[in-house]
Amino acid sequence: MDQIKLELPSVEVMEAAFRGRDASFDGIFFAAVATTGIFCRPSCPARKPLPGNTVFYATAAEALFAGYRPCLRCKPLFSSDDPDWLRELVARVESEPRGRIKESELKSMGLDPATVRRRFKSRYGMSFQAFQRARRLASAFEAIKEGGSIDDAVFDHGYDSHSGFRDAFAKLFGEAPGKAAGSDYIRLAWIESPLGPLVAGAVDRGICLLEFTDRRMLEAQAEALRLRFRLPAAPAPHALLERLEAELAEYFSGSRREFDLPLLEPGTPFQERVWAALREIPCGETRSYGDLARALGDPGAVRAVAQANGRNRIAILVPCHRVIGSDGGLGGYGGGLWRKRRLLEIERHGH
């Protein structure tokens, strides 16, 4: 998605607007409900979820790529000035997200593929083909959320999202295990959380990836992972991923403050020193970039510390969210400042 990252209102403001069905916030943010897998406009008339079950996104595209599907009541994918053909295409994709509408079919419908691409890019921040891929992935996510394993939901059922799922992740993470030499590969899993879905990766020696699925740096992190490990990746179960899911659930419930999992995060020697220093920050506390630089014995390396912090590939477990600005401000966070604020709240107050 080649789209400008929009600044969201505070979580408190968005929660109040969503619960108050405030139409003045329509278009400013979208509310996704973790328990149902649906995202809505702020003004949606549907019953509101319990507090803590809502995740907020700046665009519909971000909600789609995070695995949520659009609400049938408030129809968050449409606006009053959308042409009929756009509505019809979206309706077709929604009715059968596993299908594919190719450019040749668009032409047979009397539509110019370039016009369709530009309109979807303008309206949703992605091309029509990318829109279809997002819905195919969301279809696979839904099957997994309903209780099936990733293997059962994607590879063993024989439906069209099998190829869509593999293609999308082959593009992101590299070729499939069967095409690579060697006995090991990076196993991938999706983990639900109160702050949105996470993609996790593990090899036999440890957890090597944990990122929110809508993070802008995810593709760059995947490329770095591929270069460092020189291993393919594919959705598959692994004992470490099962332990990770269980420990994250305890963390978000407030009953766990430290993680007991082996981590494998190769980087440059300096990056590895920074990531080790991050793991030394106690849960419930914060440090500034300057504090970290001084702890590493190089007070002038503040900018380099910040860059290494931003390239951390294992969110939460390597707690880059505990680093704040020297003025006490939150600073930056690849997963979104609202998530950083919420993670710090969980660690300070236990929920």
Among 44, 71, 74, 320, the active-site one is 320
Encoded amino acid at 179, one letter = K
* Active-site residue, 320 included: yes
Where are the chain's structural domains?
Answer: 11-134, 137-173, 177-253, 269-349
Which position has the token pair 């108050």?
Answer: 20
CA distance to 9, 21, 288, 293, 340, per residue, from 327 (Å): 21, 36, 9, 16, 16
- The whole-number pLDDT of residue 217 equals 60
- The whole-number pLDDT of residue 311 equals 86
Among 40, 44, 71, 74, the active-site one is 40
Smallest CA-to-CA distance from 113 within 124, 98, 123, 101 is with 101
List of residues 6+ apart from 190 with CB closer than 8 A: 67, 141, 144, 150, 197, 198, 199, 200, 213
pTM for this one? 0.54
269-349: CATH, from 3.40.720.10, 3.40.640.10, 2.170.8.10, 1.10.10.10 = 1.10.10.10
* Active-site residue, 71 included: no
For the stretch 280-334, pLDDT in tens is: 999 999 999 999 999 999 999 898 998 898 889 999 999 999 998 888 778 778 7
The mean pLDDT value of the chain amounts to 79
- The whole-number pLDDT of residue 277 equals 95
CATH superfamily of 11-134: DNA Methylphosphotriester Repair Domain (3.40.10.10)
Cβ burial of 350 (10 Å; 0-12, 13-18, 19+) is exposed
For the stretch 167-197, pLDDT in tens is: 555 554 454 434 433 446 777 777 888 887 7
d(CA 345, CA 2): 31
Cβ burial of 46 (10 Å; 0-12, 13-18, 19+) is middle
CA distance to 61, 281, 308, per residue, from 292 (Å): 36, 10, 11
Name the token pair of 68: 């949520």
| Tens-level pLDDT at each residue, the chain (351 residues) | 333 344 678 888 899 999 999 988 988 899 988 778 789 999 999 988 887 778 888 888 777 766 678 898 998 988 777 788 988 998 888 777 767 888 999 999 999 999 998 888 777 766 888 777 766 655 655 554 455 555 554 543 333 444 555 555 555 445 443 443 344 677 777 788 888 778 888 988 999 999 887 665 666 666 667 677 777 666 667 899 999 999 999 999 989 999 999 999 888 899 999 999 999 999 999 999 999 999 999 999 898 998 898 889 999 999 999 998 888 778 778 777 888 888 999 998 865
Neighbours of 343 (CB within 10 A): 21
- The whole-number pLDDT of residue 208 equals 92
CATH topology of domain 177-253: Double Stranded RNA Binding Domain (3.30.160)
> How open is the CA angle 142-221-27, to the nearest 5 degrees?
55
Name the token pair of 203: 């090899």
